[in-house]
Amino acid sequence: MPYFEGSDGTSLFYTDWGQGKPVVFVTGAWLSSSSWEFQMLPLSEAGLRCVAFDKRGHGRSDWVGHGFDYDTLADDLAALLECLDLHEVTLVAHSMGGGEVLRYLTRHGYDRVSRVVLMSVTAPLMAWSPDNHDGIDQGAFDALLTERSKDRPRWMAQNAQAFFATHLGNTISTELVEWTVRRCLDCSAKAAVEVIRTGFRTDLREEAAALRVPVLIIHGDADASAPIGLCGRRMAKLVPDSVYKEYPRAGHGLFMTHADDVNQDLLDFIGATSTLGGINCPG
């Protein structure tokens, strides 16, 4: 299986499908590269080269106990782009993966990247601060983290429906919900805690405002994990050259529940000439 060396020698798994313009998918917390199958399969068959990797502590990558800060995670992403020598890349990030992409561009520049997609991202700042009064209180965050850590499988199963916003009519099979929960559990307990802490406390407002490539922002207005008023709409105001797409009644897992819409928006933004060709997604 294909692996590359992360910034500190950590062994990281990646998937590489198709030919054409490179699109690199960056997962959020807990999920691995397999969660992008509803984008990678149709887009690779539509003429794009689709690459995704398992974050350290996740999936088939080394379950190390360190390096879950954005600097290290961004350097891991840089190592992947350098290993495959990718250029004119579209970076597609979900949830806290958006922070990895922002920090990558801050630390490594734009030589390899031509555009960015920020999907349901937890940026620019989740935590309350004196100049971020709509943010989440540290005590509430710590209580939620404690509850989740006591029984991670049970917490994941109980919150899966909110992830997909099925209470608003989004259709997804029971089997796919269970499959996603298993993917979320396929990371170490250490990684599960540390990446969430990183995503919660890191202030990315200045980095978002400094972006110098075209950016597509996609967010669901029923996102329980990254509230739209705190995240998606604020990112749309901060990022200079951005297109903002707001999906009605979509939750945090919109890349599965609204896969066809997401994929068409990606193709349009990337400028791919091919179409999806009738590939069915679970939207």
Which amino acid is residue 176, in one-letter code?
L
Exactly one of 223, 225, 242, 265 is catalytic; name it. Answer: 223
Is 95 one of the catalytic residues? yes
Whether 279 contacts 41, CB under 8 Å: yes
Query: Which residue in the list 34, 35, 44, 95 is annotated as catalytic?
Result: 95
- Per-position DSSP letters for 164-228, written without gaps between them: HTGGGT----HHHHHHHHHHHHSB-HHHHHHHHHHHHH---HHHHHT--S-EEEEEETT-SSS-T
Rounded distance, CA 277 to CA 164, Å? 26
Contacts within 8 Å (CB) and 24+ apart, 39-44: 39/92, 39/255, 39/259, 39/262, 39/263, 39/266, 40/15, 41/17, 41/279, 42/263, 42/276, 42/277, 42/279, 42/281, 43/18, 43/263, 43/266, 43/267, 43/272, 44/17, 44/18
| Catalytic residue status for 260 | no
Q: What radius of gyration, in Å, describes the C-alpha atoms of the chain? A: 17
C-alpha span between 247 and 63 (Å, rounded): 35
Catalytic residue among 94, 219, 252, 258: 252
Told to judge if 223 belongs to the known catalytic residues of this protein, a careful annotator would answer yes
Residues catalogued as catalytic: 95, 223, 252
